[in-house]
Amino acid sequence: MFDNSDRTEIGAMGEFGLIQHLSQHFEVKNSKTFKGIGDDCAVIDCGDHFGLLTTDLLLEGVHFDLSFHPLKHLGYKAISVAVSDIYAMNGMADQVVVGLGLSNRFSLEAVEELYAGMQIACEHFGVDLVGGDTTTSQSGLVISMSAYGRVAKDKIVYRGGAQVGDLLVVSGDLGGAYMGLQILEREKRVFLEVPTMQPDLEQYDYIVGRQLKAEARKDVIELLKILDVKPTSMIDVSDGVASELHHMGKASGCGFHVYEEKLPIDPQTIDTALTFDLNPSIVALNGGEDYELLFTVGQEDYEKIKTMPDFTVIGYATDVTSKNMLRTKSDNQFEIKAQGWPDSQKD
Ligand code: ADP
Ligand code: MG
């Protein structure tokens, strides 16, 4: 299958290069597999509807830090992260299965806390926890979460349907989860140096909540249905808007033009970013873990969405394939790369 005579560093390939490389020899053979790798979910042809299947892995030390992440919140977040990919296909989630790797430092009470959070999330999102697997782990807590959902065949939305001229819309606000993490990590450093000092997180409640207890946007899918709006493309914001725009543009064969002044950023995110000497707009574009929905709609749908306080039109789709530009408040143009804006152009 692969010629393994050389050694190639995985880090040099990037996550998406690696997935592409590994999956190249896997052809879809089952006639019910409607769409394989490449979108937020795999799509399964169930006759009168599509089934949606997705999985996410959460590793201690990589995705969460138990010194400040309460287990109950983590349980909630693990379910949110998985069902978010179902909403990104314009579907509804029905079931989840949970894989757990536990080290012996966990007590029954600790695992109960984790499951209490999962139960609240199951109630909230209307999903059933229907199975999983449990094993010991030598390297901290491992949570693998898979979700199954469904969508009517004529309602499914892929990353790849954006048309030139479509409006680019995002739900909620951006950058909060990233700034929440910066606060939690700062307070942890302070605590390690001065253990008697109790962190005062009250003034950061919103952004800390965004980090610890992600909220998948089931309500956005419900609202789009009520408004009778079917997005032309959609993705959930897990890695950051800059990265998600890249995926949507690549899949759709278009680029995007984004207006900095339109980026929805909570005042708490702005204040905290400035305290850390960070540009709030860069935080909003690159932060990640917001679990908002980023989507495009045809211009004819503008009237239906324009008064929705939770939707912000931040730009539009252009014919420049895979090139995403930011129009800054000072009327400069920057290319949006996954990290920062290295290339400046004045026009
Ligand atoms: P998301 O951020 O929406 O969860 P990812 O960026 O993780 O999506 O993955 C992009 C696509 O690659 C998805 O279709 C996913 O199922 C697929 N994928 C990710 N990792 C692997 C892997 N190790 N093997 C096969 N497919 C993968
Ligand atoms: Mg996703």
Q: Which CATH architecture has domain 167-344?
A: Alpha-Beta Complex (3.90)
- Alpha-carbon gap, residue 106 to 117, rounded angstroms: 16
CA dist 35 and 50 (Å) reads 10
- Rounded to two decimals, the pTM is 0.94
C-alpha span between 205 and 183 (Å, rounded): 10
Query: Which mutation among 19, 20, 28, 35 tests ligand 1's pocket best, with the greatest number of atoms within 8 A of CB?
Result: 19
Q: Phi/psi at 246 (nearest 5 deg)? A: -60, -45
Protein fold of 31-151: 60s Ribosomal Protein L30; Chain: A; (3.30.1330)
* CA dist list (Å): 131 to 91, 230, 327: 21, 33, 47
Task: Identify the residue whose tokens are 């969405």.
Answer: 305
Domain ranges of the chain: 31-151, 167-344
- What is d(CA 90, CA 85) in angstroms, rounded to the nearest whole number? 9
Reading the block at residue 277, the tokens are 């000497």
pLDDT tens digits, the chain, 347 residues: what are they?
A: 777 777 777 777 777 778 888 888 888 889 999 999 999 999 999 999 999 999 999 999 999 999 999 999 999 999 999 999 999 999 999 999 999 999 988 999 999 999 999 999 999 999 999 999 999 999 899 999 999 999 999 999 999 999 999 999 999 999 999 999 999 999 999 888 888 877 788 899 999 999 999 999 999 999 999 999 999 999 999 999 999 999 999 999 999 999 999 999 999 999 999 999 999 999 999 999 999 999 999 999 999 999 999 999 999 999 988 799 999 999 999 999 865 333 333 33
Nearest atom in ligand 1 to the alpha carbon of residue 236 is: 3
Nearest to 256 by CA among 322, 302, 169: 322
Measured in whole angstroms, the distance separating CA 327 from the mean position of its chain's CA atoms is 24
Question: Pocket residues for ligand 1 (CB within 6 Å)?
Answer: 19, 22-23, 37-40, 56, 85, 238
* Per-residue confidence (pLDDT) for residue 338, from 0 to 100: 67
pLDDT of residue 339: 56
